[in-house]
Amino acid sequence: MPALARRFTVIAPDLAGHGGSDKPKGDYSLGAHASALRDLMVKLGHDQASIVGHSLGGGIAMQFSYQFPERCERLALIDSGGLGRDVSLLLRAATLPGSEFVLPLLAATRLLDAGERAAGLLGRIGLRARTDLEEMARGHATLSDAGARAAFVHTLRSVVEPGGQRVDAGNRLYLAQHLPFLLLWGEHDSIIPVAHARATHAQVPGSRLELFEDSGHFPQLDEPERFIDVLVEFIETTEPAPLDGERWRALLGSEAP
């Protein structure tokens, strides 16, 4: 964020139920998160923005561009959810009945330490999943808090079920044809497969695909300098999407390819 903030105004909120934000009982759907982002933009005095989302954030970014197309200048998705059925077994297991009672065990110090040791070992023998494991361990560490745990489970169950992702934007991707659209993906993503990026790129004419050969689910951490270069170049070499009510009506009235 500091590197991006040298050129742009960067807004990077903790979503409701995440990080330092409140974790109330309530709606943790993609639509609710997208509406909260809209409200934040309005409060801060920004009419439009380039929307960048990673993982769950990618699903929220797509939902935002669908609900509030007049506010979305560009769309950049990083290892995004919502583009196919496949997702890691751990996330699917976390949606099972009773998972909220098992998650505190996963957040226990000994298990987290074991996960970090496993991640270190994988890195020493050259496997690229190390960052994925470290970040998953860091995320699990927050689940000892009951409020965070409940928010996590509600959020996850809104988009994932035991069989895989239950939300798929595939039948709405044709609506993104008016947008500058960037896909960034780690080729060794152990959480959401890179095949989703390739399929989406093929489905959206004019989209741009950047694959990060040495990255897993977190290319912004595995290859940060290249990540920043690609994102900055995308923003600076594309024009904000022009969209008025008439064009949006025409897009909604057209049939998906």
Catalytic, out of 55, 158, 207, 215: 55
Q: Counting beta carbons within 10 angstroms of the beta carbon of residue 14, is it exposed (0 to 12), middle (13 to 18) or buried (19 or more)? A: exposed
For the chain, the farthest-separated pair of C-alpha atoms sits apart, in whole angstroms, at 58
Annotation says 189 is catalytic? yes
Catalytic, out of 189, 196, 201, 222: 189
- Spatial CA neighbour of 79 closest among 171, 205, 194, 225: 194
Are 167 and 159 in contact, with CB atoms under 8 Å apart?
A: yes
Rounded to an integer, what distance in angstroms lies between the CA atom of residue 100 and that of residue 153? 7
Both structure tokens of 20: 């330092």
Q: Where are the beta strands (DSSP E) in 10-111?
A: 49-54, 72-78
* DSSP SS3 for 94: coil
Q: DSSP for 154-219? A: HHHHTTEETTEE---GGGGGGGGGGS-EEEEEETT-SSS-THHHHHHHHHSTT-EEEEETT-SS-H
Both structure tokens of 133: 């494991």
**Phi, psi torsion values for 253, nearest 5 degrees:** -85, -10
Catalytic, out of 132, 178, 217, 222: 217
**Phi, psi torsion values for 13, nearest 5 degrees:** -80, 150
Annotation says 55 is catalytic? yes
Q: Which residues contact 110 (CB under 8 A, 6 or more apart)?
A: none
Catalytically active residues are 55, 189, 217
